[in-house]
Chain A
Amino acid sequence: MTEDIKQKSGPRLGRSKVSQGSQVILLMLLLVLIIVASAGMGYIKIPFSDVIRIVLAKITGNTGILAGMDKLLPVVVLDVRLPRILTAATVGGGLAIAGVVFQGILLNPLADPYTLGVSAGAAFGASLAILFNISFMSTWSVPLLAFIGAMSTLLFVLYLSSSGGGYSSNNLILSGIIVAAILSAGISFLKYIADEQVSIIIFWLMGSFASKTWTDVSITLICVFFGFCVFLFYSRDLNLMSLGDRTASSLGVDTQKVPLILLLTASLVTAICVSVSGIIGFVGLLVPHMMRSITGPDNQKLIPVSLLAGAILLLGADTITRAVLPNEIPIGVLTALIGGPFFCYIFRKQQTAKVW
């Protein structure tokens, strides 16, 4: 009987046959593999077995495992490479799930933190901090101002686009683009009036994971994990919101509260990621888009899978620029250079595949 129905119902385009559970487990294994591989790669090559021994020794506290190893290697792995690797992976995952949520709320598969001006706000805040050499919180002033910039931009965009009750996605995107344009001009102006600091601003804007610390790791990890929990909790409501405001409302979604909670959380995650690593484009756009063609648009599946895929992608990219290329290219430039054309390709492919 059910076989019969399946036969009649026509082809199911694109979606993977692999079950949700095995997708997640596969991606987790892949992530661990890349973390270990990446930790061994770089100026000093370290065999994988040594990487695992170093990590095991650290976790178990049993230094006996390290017998006969160069004293330098544990320092390289634990203090230099792992913080950078884990930050890159966490930021990748965070940007990807923030992208899923922005796209879900704005009902636009092309939305991402840029569309709402959140990234531009963070960049403006950071540029200000660098230009005026604000250092009341030592190394934290740049991330802090980036965060303040991101959140105040979001609040202003929300204020600009709110009407009566709720936020229309068209208004949000329009307001976001307007505000982002103003902020970009502002950043250009800051670059113009900065003489010595201009290179610092430009380098920060291009994004980098160089010299990250365990503090960076824990801050981003906590925020991204918090965001992940919030997103997963509301993932079903996010599904319903794709049916439109009225329908979502009639299916039990608080269409004033839920989008606001999700937007604020997604912006928090974006702001933390941007403030730690600078501007890294296309992860929030590309990853949800690619994963949606594997899992389908159900956010309960899409969010966990995007988190892992984003982590893998950005860590992969960072490892390439750190350990494979002869000179380190800013990670933001690399993701845009690879991600942009790739995105054009899949976007065009989807346009031609559409049958109306």
Chain B
Amino acid sequence: MEKLFEIDQISFGYKSKRVIEGLSLTLAAGVFYGIIGPNGCGKTTLLDLMINHHQPAAGRIRYKGKTLAGYSKKALSREIALVPQNFYINFPFTAKEVVMMGRYPHIKRFAAPSTRDIRFVHDIMEQTDTLAFENRFITQLSSGERQRVIFARALAQDSPVLILDEATSNLDINHALGMLKLAAQGVEDETKTVIAVMQDINLAAAFCDHLIFVQHGNVVANGPVDKILNSEILRDVFQVDSKIYFEPYSDSMQVVFRK
């Protein structure tokens, strides 16, 4: 399989606090990755390093064989799209305008969107079930609706890599499943690689091919879901007792926790 990200011994910290410490990880193309770990373990920081929003203090990250620093911001924005967690927008853009911003990396600075861009945005909004409020202001949507618009915006970027940072945490189960299905569809069609930070381990087990457990700013376990997900690792990482079994109904491994 083609190597997509090669993360080599990176460290990063804010001021005095080290967040990532000598982390190494290799990610292949065409896989649905789930990143799992307790709050504050450095998952979001890891994502920020992978989209080159922050630069590692030591070590380096290669994307498609070239260091991230070697990509222009614009070139990288055509490669990697990010769906952030909880955010808000202060200005009354319409939902459609926000989704169209996902096309900006493909549109020249002073050019108007082409009919193809407009068509693309329309199709994406149809798939993400956001068409119903395309002309409403983003400032007046509920947090779940807003999250779906932002997801649509990331899909409109039409990038080979899609990064979800707890993107389903604001959504009802119907729309959470819908969002993850769309992401998984992209992986199945071999057009996308998905890297998702998730809190819900059952959703992660159902949709991800591969799980990466992060603790104290480092990867502690990493492998295909059926091989890596067990009660020992959950006890190590989260200090909880759990039972793990194969559930035919969802056709995936599932976890139940002791109260």
Contacts and interface: CB of A to CB of B under 8 A. Distances in A.
Tell me whether A and B are bound partners.
yes
Interface of A: 5-6, 8-10, 12-13, 104, 107-109, 163-165, 233, 236, 239-240, 242-247, 249-255, 292, 296-298, 354-356
Contact of A107 (B73, B90, B93, B135): B90
Interface residues of B, number: 42
- The B interface, classified by DSSP as helix, strand, loop or mixed, is mixed
A112 B98 CA distance: 24
A165 B82 CA distance: 19
A164 B87 CA distance: 21
A250 B140 contact: no
A102 to B, nearest CB: 13
Contact of A236 (B14, B53, B104): B104
Given A247-B82, A355-B140, A12 B94 contact: yes
A246 B84 contact: yes
Given A9-B131, A12-B135, A165-B54, A250 B94 contact: no
26 contacts: A6-B135, A9-B134, A9-B136, A12-B136, A104-B91, A107-B90, A107-B91, A109-B90, A164-B15, A236-B104, A239-B93, A242-B93, A243-B150, A243-B153, A247-B84, A249-B52, A250-B77, A250-B81, A251-B102, A252-B78, A252-B104, A292-B91, A292-B92, A296-B92, A354-B140, A355-B140
Contacts of B101: 239-240, 243, 251
A243 B89 contact: yes
Contact of A8 (B78, B90, B94, B132): B132
Nearest to A243: B89
Interface in B102-149: 102, 104-105, 109, 131-137, 140
Contact of A252 (B73, B89, B91): B73
Interface hub of B51, B73, B94, B98 (most chain A Cβ within 10 A): B73
Interface of B: 14-15, 48, 51-54, 73-74, 76-78, 80-82, 84, 87, 89-94, 97-98, 101-102, 104-105, 109, 131-137, 140, 150, 153, 157, 163
B94 A296 contact: yes
B134 A5 contact: yes
Q: Which 8 A-B pairs have the closest CB atoms?
A: A252-B77, A297-B91, A250-B82, A249-B53, A9-B135, A252-B74, A244-B87, A252-B73
A242 B53 contact: no
Contact of A10 (B54, B93, B135, B157): B135
A17 B132 CA distance: 21
A202 B109 CA distance: 45
A255 B82 CA distance: 15
Contact of B14 (A164, A249, A296): A164
Contacts of B93: 239, 242, 296-298
A251 B87 contact: no
Given A9-B131, A251-B77, A252-B76, 13 more contacts: A9-B135, A10-B133, A107-B90, A109-B91, A236-B109, A240-B104, A245-B53, A246-B48, A246-B53, A247-B82, A250-B80, A252-B74, A296-B93
Interface hub of B15, B82, B137 (most chain A Cβ within 10 A): B137
Contact of B73 (A8, A9, A249, A298): A249
Contacts of B54: 165
Interface hub of A165, A249, A292, A355 (most chain B Cβ within 10 A): A249
Contacts of B90: 107-109, 242
A165 B135 CA distance: 35
Contacts of A244: 84, 87, 89
Contacts of B77: 250-252
B158 to A, nearest CB: 12
Contact of B133 (A9, A240, A255, A356): A9
B140 A356 contact: yes
Given A8-B132, A252-B73, A296-B97, A242 B140 contact: no
A240 B104 CA distance: 9
Contacts of A104: 91
A249 B137 CA distance: 23
